[in-house]
Amino acid sequence: MQIDLNDLKTKGFLDIPIDSNINIVEEIKRMKKEKNAVILAHFYQTGDIQDIADFVGDSLKLAQEAAKTNADIILFAGVHFMAETAKILSPGKKVLLPDLEAGCSLADSAPAEAFAEFKKQHPNHLVISYVNTTAEIKSMTDIICTSSNAKEIIDDLPKDQKIIFAPDKNLGNYINGVTGRSMVLWDGACHVHEEFSVERILELKEQNPDAKILAHPECERPVLIIADHIGSTSSLLNYTKNSKFDKFIVATESGIMHQMRKANPQKTFIGAPPKDSTCACNDCNFMKLNSLQKLYNALKYELPEITLEEEIRVKAEVPIRRMLEISAKLGL
Ligand code: 13P
Ligand code: SF4
């Protein structure tokens, strides 16, 4: 079949109609075997995508899987920086992202040129960047971290080490608080996590006094102050499994509740309300661009593929490897 590559350029994905008689889930499973492909999915994907994935996890677990997989193809059900990280770690593999438009507002909040200037203004600082960054920012970074290892990686550094933390000011503020550091913060944020309303969460808590509030550290400080537990997606999920409580208000992207409900069918999970009551703000519009149809076409036609300039890839690999080494050393 002739593929219209213009679709890739204009839409970011292959908009090829799929025969309605096809069982998409079974076909994806069959192609996966035939092509020796692995599907990695982030917790913020829709439930149907999480259920078909070989590995579902947080950013750290997905990077660890991407580094060690024996597959020939990695189909990444997540956003662009995640697939890019997989490509940086596994350059010999074909890395596919179902929709190239699946970006990240947080990664976009740190443009390379401005960041290079920021670094110049802070000489003698070590650069720690959250994994939610472009390959170019990673190539200017000393150590990458995720929300599940940021505290430990920073605690591992000498107390007098000057640090730039980028790009998430909310995570950076939180880490400054729990480590007692004064890292210089880049002024970036995630549009999903900044949208939660502390007032509306407190109203919800009043109606559900038995509910525990869970928050991702990408949320703003007022939300973190009222949270009973703060952590990465996997940390929030584990908390729900190990907690004796039965009801939770969840201040992070809605996709994580799929795993929470699967692991705790008897417990209740309520999405934290956003400031704007009319929007579906708990959904990351980038994460939710992926669909089973796009995964099917991506695997079938092996497009869209993530490619990187080798010079950038090699430089970006160094701080990610450092993160993986430190995480392994610390047993994370
Ligand atoms: P984690 O899954 O590592 O907690 O990251 C959350 C996130 O925002 C990914 O985009
Ligand atoms: Fe980026 Fe926020 Fe979406 Fe995560 S939830 S991918 S940080 S925009």
Q: What is the pLDDT of residues 247-302, one digit of tens each?
A: 999 999 999 999 999 999 999 999 999 998 877 778 999 999 999 999 999 999 99
- Residue showing tokens 């497009």: 303
Q: How far apart are CA 185 and CA 170, in angstroms?
A: 9
Q: How far apart are CA 307 and CA 220, in angstroms?
A: 34
pTM over 0.85, yes/no: yes
* pLDDT tens track for 59-102: 999 999 999 999 999 999 999 999 999 999 999 999 999 999 99
Q: What is the pLDDT of residue 280?
A: 74
- Please give the C-alpha separations between residue 139 and each of 96, 100, 165, 188, 308, in angstroms, as whole numbers: 21, 21, 14, 18, 12
Q: What is the pLDDT of residue 1?
A: 63
Residue 105 contacts residue 191 (beta carbons within 8 Å): yes
Would 245 be classed as within a structural domain? yes
Can you tell me the mean pLDDT for 42-66?
96
Q: What is the pLDDT of residue 327?
A: 95
Q: Are residues 226 and 175 in the same domain?
A: no
Residue owning the nearest CA to atom 3 of ligand 2: 284
Residue 267 Cα to ligand 1 midpoint, Å, equals 23
Pocket of ligand 1 (CB under 6 A): 43, 58-59, 132, 146-148, 190, 218, 232-233
Residue 104 CA: which ligand is closest? 2
Residue 59 Cα to ligand 1 midpoint, Å, equals 6
Residue 188 CA: which ligand is closest? 2
Can you tell me the mean pLDDT for 46-50?
98
Beta-strand pair 73-77/94-96: parallel
pLDDT band per the 50, 70, 90 thresholds, residue 6 = confident
Token code pair at residue 160: 């007098």
In the chain, the number of structural domains is 3
Residue owning the nearest CA to atom 2 of ligand 1: 58
Residue 303 Cα to ligand 2 midpoint, Å, equals 23
Would 31 be classed as within a structural domain? yes
pLDDT band per the 50, 70, 90 thresholds, residue 154 = very high
Residue 103 contacts residue 80 (beta carbons within 8 Å): yes
* Lowest-confidence pick of 14-18, 152-156, 265-269: 14-18
Residue 306 Cα to ligand 2 midpoint, Å, equals 19
CATH code of the domain in which 254 resides: 3.40.50.10800
* pLDDT tens track for 179-212: 999 999 999 999 999 999 999 999 999 999 999 9
Helix (H) or strand (E) holding 208: none
Can you tell me the mean pLDDT for 153-161?
97
Q: Are residues 96 and 136 in the same domain?
A: no
Q: What is the pLDDT of residue 2?
A: 66
Q: Are residues 172 and 320 in the same domain?
A: yes
By C-alpha distance, which of 273, 239, 279 is closest to 259? 239
Residue 39 Cα to ligand 2 midpoint, Å, equals 20
Please state the φ and ψ torsions of residue 223, each to the nearest 5 degrees. -70, -40
Q: Are residues 114 and 127 in the same domain?
A: yes
Q: Which residue range(s) make up the domain with 238? A: 198-271
Q: Which atom of ligand 1 is nearest to the CA of 79?
A: 10
3 pLDDT higher than 80: no
Q: What is the pLDDT of residue 272?
A: 96
Q: Are residues 212 and 263 in the same domain?
A: yes
Q: What is the pLDDT of residue 261?
A: 98
The per-residue pLDDT of the chain, averaged, comes to 96
218 pLDDT higher than 90: yes
pLDDT band per the 50, 70, 90 thresholds, residue 5 = confident
> Does ligand 2 lie within 6 Å of residue 253's CB atom?
yes
Q: How far apart are CA 308 and CA 320, in angstroms?
A: 15
Residue owning the nearest CA to atom 1 of ligand 2: 104
Token code pair at residue 224: 């973190």
